[in-house]
Structure 1
Amino acid sequence: MAAIFPPALGAEDPEGGWKSAESALRKAILSKNFEVAQRLVGELADTDDVRGYRLILKYAVGGHSYDLDRLAGRKLVAVESANVRKEVFSAVSRGRNAKAKIVLLAVLRRWRDDPLAMKTLHAELRNPRKEVVFATIRLIRELDSPELSMDALIDELGRRERRPHDRIYFDLQRTLEDLSGYKFPVAADWRNYWKGRKGGKKPVPKNTGESRTVLFKRPTFFSVTVDSDRVLFIIDVSDSMKIPDTVIQKPRRPVEEPGRKGRTVVVKPDGASGSEKVPVPKSKLVPRITRVKHELLKTLAGLPTHVRFGIMKFNHQIGFFGSAPPPLPERDKPIQHAAAPALLQASKANKQKAYDWVRTLKPSGATRTDLAVTRIFGMPEIDTIYLLTDGEPRDEKNQKIAPEIVLTIARIQNRFRKARIHTIGFSQAGHTMQKLCRDLAGQNDGKCVLLD
């Protein structure tokens, strides 16, 4: 197919006119001929005409193809024309396609020296689509410039802090802390700090005894804070979860001296008159599933009532709390999985039902991490996932599943969803599992914890 646009046309019309150019690009994208679409985008950009960039923004940016989006983004980043940049600003502020917005927000981040680009980027903190806000906050964090973003972040935190706290609220707090190196509980304190810093003053340590701000300790799952109100816990119940690991138990605190509240007994060396043995850490063999059940029950107990949660269990089958269990596998028949239910409010009654369900978990079968990750993205409410596993992915015949398959599933499915995936693994389970946990968390803005 001959090139529609002669090279280096400058501001001249393309061969066949702009309507022909538009028709060709639209046809290539609708037919999913992305190789042709990429070539046409390159030729449109080479015209260096605002009309060409309008067509790129209208048709080529929108999540149709990863490579097409990347090419369009690179072409736009290189633009210095004020008129073309105005088209990008308009596409971000007025556009309704969340995928296109997320692609273009990454372009705005590269224009950090353009005040209008930063203003447009910061305005998306108020976007009604939370995946757009997640992308905006992460890009602001990557900018790593307090001077550019602190005011916008503080204003948005103040707007949201009177509502029930969700992931956006906690992401705003985290980003403010990352940019400043300080930590304050409310927007008013952040505003005072930033006003003083711009005036050349260091923040004065606050007398916590005079503070009227009531802070509640957030629940954690194996030390990873629950920083969202739409969460899913994914628990590996494969056969290897029966394995007992050595767990170090902390010694109990020394007993208080009778009649002297708050004062502890000083323990003398063993053998001295009237002395006690110095408490030392003890080790205990605990099955992995028992350890996980205990931790998950504590986490569920601490969830605030406004949080909505779900629990998935997986081996070679997928099951959910709140859903009918899947039928047992039959020979020569496809394995069936449970239907994904809606998330449930963390009410007292729902927590009790969850406790009862968690206590029934029993290890068996294979480790189909790929199935578990695939099912995550069929649940639209979720924005934060806690994935616990103890082994490398394997199928029902004990054949290894390449970790790259799991990572690719998450990368494709989560590209515009922007769910955060935290991973928890067991150090004893081997290098492949550890690397998968690290890579999956790192790829999806999460934390990785490896249990001893």
Structure 2
Amino acid sequence: MTRSALALLSILVIVPTGAHAQADDPLVADGRALLLDVVASFGSLQRNRDPLHTRLADQQLERLRALETMPPELREKACRFLKRILEMKGREDSLYRLRVTAIRLIAKLAHEVSWAKYLARVALARKGSPMVGLDFYVERNLANLRTPAHAKWLLTGLQDSRRSIRRLVLGALARLDDPKRAAMLLPALDRLCALAGDDDKEIASRAVAVLGQIESSRVFPPLVRAVTDGSALVRLAAAQALGRRLHVPGTVPVLARLLEDTNARVREECVISFRRAKDKAIVPRLIARMSKEPLRLRAALAKTLQHLVGHGFGLDPKPWQDWLKSARAAGNLDLDRGARATPRGRYASQYYGIPVLSDRVLFILDVSRSMDYRAGLVAKSRLARAKQELTKALRGLDKKSYFGVMAFSSSPLPLQRNGLVRVSERSIKRAVKWIGQQGAQGGTNSYGALELAFDKFPKVDTIYFLSDGSPTLGRTIVQERIIQRVAKWNRLRGVRIHTIALLTGDTPAHDVWEDKQDAQRFMRALAEETGGEFLIIK
């Protein structure tokens, strides 16, 4: 065992002795044994900081989730071990993944309030610290701290003079998403209302999101003001917050103002929020938007309308308009005339079974060397299968759609360098020919492909991302860093990324072993972060 592993063990007193050992609960004893085993295993693995050993070390840390139901004393010892991981020397990418896992586990296991303060210090780490750049994950996990003392500390942070702390605690409070825990926000209501009007729009948007969780008539005025705020971030938070309050009289017409917002993501969030509505009076306004929106938003409108009226008429505006005319003539918005499940109609394109419900779509195809793997000597390679599916999807696109195609291996290679192109016989034929010319070679630069997608395709609202593995090269190969960057790029874009993990076949005996489980982990996280679907093909 290494010296660092021994140092980690030295902070734990995990083997009880004497009478106490005999009286120890068997489950607690199992927890102690698990902690000891994780510490020992981690110590031996962390000598090598290559991607494989990092993944194995991370898997060892994940075993500590089993301690969530253990007594506070044991959980505190686990947290002290995790703290040592956060403070390990070095800023290699391999350590970033382990630090993110440590943050998540501390938030789940911690008992003492000092851990909330410690995680805040981690979030505020400055250049030169090994913990710099972890604020994104601290904010997302602070809300998981379990005791009333932790919640009280978060509320005191609202009064902190540092903007960074106010942003941090507001971001955490906005993620509570639990009515019982949200009740604790009432004592801070005045402060939250004031912060909702802050000049710092990051603070204001977070405060608006928190207000949406509070059951009080006093939150309504700041939410109304947020609807007309000059920042799309604040208006987006208002759409989400008002959606939680549609049971309150007067909320529907305020939220309806955002149906005309200049930002597509704000409009979509508004449409989704109306699925909680009980009053069907909003139905005519939603139908009026059908002819004005791109396909993805029309799909959201159709789903909301079907939820409100109990039946659907697809994605084209005219059937909905005809139904509304008949319903008004009958004086009944419950009129069921030709009702049916929402069809795909002429929008029949699919990619590996996932409907292409977008007319501003980008397909990203992994053409790295491993895409040449196949299941058996006569089976098609992964790349051959992917090309076949992509060709079918392109040929099924609606003529009014715009599309783009990008291949990537060691670097990204877009077919169109000036953004999306209109679907036509010529553009599809050119794309199919280009796809057929792509061969399998190089590594997997997922970061580079995603960065180029957000940079060079500003009108895209949906991406289909197909790959067979974890990132292996590029500006960063750490999954957590890539997810963090995508979240930043996508803040107001709302691009939905559907991911297809193409994992057919086995690694050839002469080649480098591939970790299919880790590939699934990355692709699932990317889809979840952006609201997309995740599909595994084995």
> Which residue does the alignment assign to 2:117?
none
> Which residue does the alignment assign to 1:423?
499
Is 2:287–2:321's contact at 8 Å kept on the other side of the alignment?
Answer: no
Report the Cα distance in structure 1 between the residues aligned to 2:294 and 2:188, rounded to whole angstroms. Answer: 48
Letter of the 1:56 counterpart: L
| Counterparts in 2 of 1:187 and 1:359: CA distance versus 1, 3 Å | same
Once the two structures are TM-superposed, the CA of residue 358 in structure 1 deviates from its matched residue by 1.2
> Which residue does the alignment assign to 1:174?
303
- CA deviations over 1:297-322 (Å, ceiling 9, x no partner): 22222222321111111112011112
| Counterparts in 2 of 1:108 and 1:291: CA distance versus 1, 3 Å | same
> Which residue does the alignment assign to 2:195?
56
> Which residue does the alignment assign to 2:241?
107
Report the Cα distance in structure 2 between the residues aligned to 1:99 and 1:200, rounded to whole angstroms. Answer: 34
Report the Cα distance in structure 2 between the residues aligned to 1:448 and 1:35, rounded to whole angstroms. Answer: 35
Q: Does 2:251 match 1:117?
A: yes
Report the Cα distance in structure 2 between the residues aligned to 1:59 and 1:207, rounded to whole angstroms. Answer: 47
Report the Cα distance in structure 1 between the residues aligned to 2:504 and 2:307, rounded to whole angstroms. Answer: 32
Of 360, 380, 385, the match for 1:286:
380
> Which residue does the alignment assign to 2:535?
449
Is 1:167–1:227's contact at 8 Å kept on the other side of the alignment?
Answer: yes
Q: How many pairs were matched up?
A: 351
Larger helix fraction of residues: 2
SS of structure 1 residue aligned to 2:197: helix
- CA deviations over 1:156-181 (Å, ceiling 9, x no partner): 234423x5852211221133345666
Is 2:407–2:413's contact at 8 Å kept on the other side of the alignment?
Answer: yes
Report the Cα distance in structure 1 between the residues aligned to 2:245 and 2:208, rounded to whole angstroms. Answer: 15
Q: Does 2:497 match 1:411?
A: no
Report the Cα distance in structure 2 between the residues aligned to 1:40 and 1:225, rounded to whole angstroms. Answer: 37
> Which residue does the alignment assign to 1:240?
370
Structure 1 unaligned blocks of 5 or more: 1-24, 247-282, 324-340
- Farther off after superposition, 371-380 or 71-80: 71-80
Report the Cα distance in structure 1 between the residues aligned to 2:536 and 2:393, rounded to whole angstroms. Answer: 18
Once the two structures are TM-superposed, the CA of residue 201 in structure 1 deviates from its matched residue by 6.7
Letter of the 1:426 counterpart: L
Report the Cα distance in structure 2 between the residues aligned to 1:71 and 1:164, rounded to whole angstroms. Answer: 30
Is 1:423–1:438's contact at 8 Å kept on the other side of the alignment?
Answer: yes
- CA deviations over 1:171-209 (Å, ceiling 9, x no partner): 21133345666332321465489889996978365699x
| Counterparts in 2 of 1:245 and 1:60: CA distance versus 1, 3 Å | farther
SS of structure 2 residue aligned to 1:104: helix
- CA deviations over 1:382-441 (Å, ceiling 9, x no partner): 1111111111222279xx934333322222322322111111122447222223323322
> Which residue does the alignment assign to 1:297?
391
Report the Cα distance in structure 1 between the residues aligned to 2:258 and 2:197, rounded to whole angstroms. Answer: 19
Report the Cα distance in structure 2 between the residues aligned to 1:216 and 1:242, rounded to whole angstroms. Answer: 34
> Which residue does the alignment assign to 1:230?
360
SS of structure 1 residue aligned to 2:196: helix
Of 210, 215, 218, the match for 1:74:
210
Q: Larger Cα Rg: Structure 1 or Structure 2?
A: 1
Once the two structures are TM-superposed, the CA of residue 241 in structure 1 deviates from its matched residue by 0.6
Structure with bigger RCO (C-alpha 8 Å, 6+ apart): 1
Report the Cα distance in structure 2 between the residues aligned to 1:428 and 1:308, rounded to whole angstroms. Answer: 30
Report the Cα distance in structure 2 between the residues aligned to 1:304 and 1:105, rounded to whole angstroms. Answer: 31
> Which residue does the alignment assign to 1:85?
220
Is 1:157–1:169's contact at 8 Å kept on the other side of the alignment?
Answer: no
| Counterparts in 2 of 1:123 and 1:354: CA distance versus 1, 3 Å | same
- CA deviations over 1:223-256 (Å, ceiling 9, x no partner): 111111111111111111111237xxxxxxxxxx
SS of structure 2 residue aligned to 1:286: coil
| Counterparts in 2 of 1:159 and 1:108: CA distance versus 1, 3 Å | closer
Report the Cα distance in structure 2 between the residues aligned to 1:203 and 1:75, rounded to whole angstroms. Answer: 38
Of 345, 354, 360, the match for 2:437:
360
Structure 2 unaligned blocks of 5 or more: 1-157, 174-185, 506-515
Q: Does 2:517 match 1:440?
A: no
| Counterparts in 2 of 1:39 and 1:222: CA distance versus 1, 3 Å | closer
| Counterparts in 2 of 1:402 and 1:440: CA distance versus 1, 3 Å | same
SS of structure 1 residue aligned to 2:444: coil
Alignment of 1:191-202 (within 5 A): 191=324
Report the Cα distance in structure 2 between the residues aligned to 1:434 and 1:40, rounded to whole angstroms. Answer: 32
- CA deviations over 1:25-46 (Å, ceiling 9, x no partner): 9xx78xxx4226678999xx97
Q: Does 2:448 match 1:371?
A: yes
Report the Cα distance in structure 1 between the residues aligned to 2:268 and 2:470, rounded to whole angstroms. Answer: 30
Letter of the 1:354 counterpart: A
Once the two structures are TM-superposed, the CA of residue 111 in structure 1 deviates from its matched residue by 2.1
Report the Cα distance in structure 2 between the residues aligned to 1:101 and 1:316, rounded to whole angstroms. Answer: 39
Of 409, 432, 441, the match for 1:315:
409
| Counterparts in 2 of 1:119 and 1:317: CA distance versus 1, 3 Å | same
| Counterparts in 2 of 1:357 and 1:405: CA distance versus 1, 3 Å | same
Letter of the 1:228 counterpart: S
Letter of the 1:412 counterpart: K
Report the Cα distance in structure 1 between the residues aligned to 2:435 and 2:170, rounded to whole angstroms. Answer: 55
Report the Cα distance in structure 2 between the residues aligned to 1:293 and 1:126, rounded to whole angstroms. Answer: 40
Report the Cα distance in structure 2 between the residues aligned to 1:73 and 1:401, rounded to whole angstroms. Answer: 32
Alignment of 1:138-149 (within 5 A): 138-141=272-275, 143=276, 145=277, 147-148=278-279
Is 1:221–1:296's contact at 8 Å kept on the other side of the alignment?
Answer: yes
> Which residue does the alignment assign to 2:263?
129
> Which residue does the alignment assign to 2:43?
none
Report the Cα distance in structure 2 between the residues aligned to 1:367 and 1:110, rounded to whole angstroms. Answer: 41
> Which residue does the alignment assign to 1:254?
none
TM norm structure 2? 0.56
TM norm structure 1? 0.66
Letter of the 2:226 counterpart: A
Report the Cα distance in structure 1 between the residues aligned to 2:320 and 2:330, rounded to whole angstroms. Answer: 15
| Counterparts in 2 of 1:231 and 1:214: CA distance versus 1, 3 Å | closer
| Counterparts in 2 of 1:113 and 1:404: CA distance versus 1, 3 Å | same
- CA deviations over 1:333-360 (Å, ceiling 9, x no partner): xxxxxxxx22111122222222222111
Report the Cα distance in structure 2 between the residues aligned to 1:200 and 1:374, rounded to whole angstroms. Answer: 46
Is 1:89–1:120's contact at 8 Å kept on the other side of the alignment?
Answer: yes
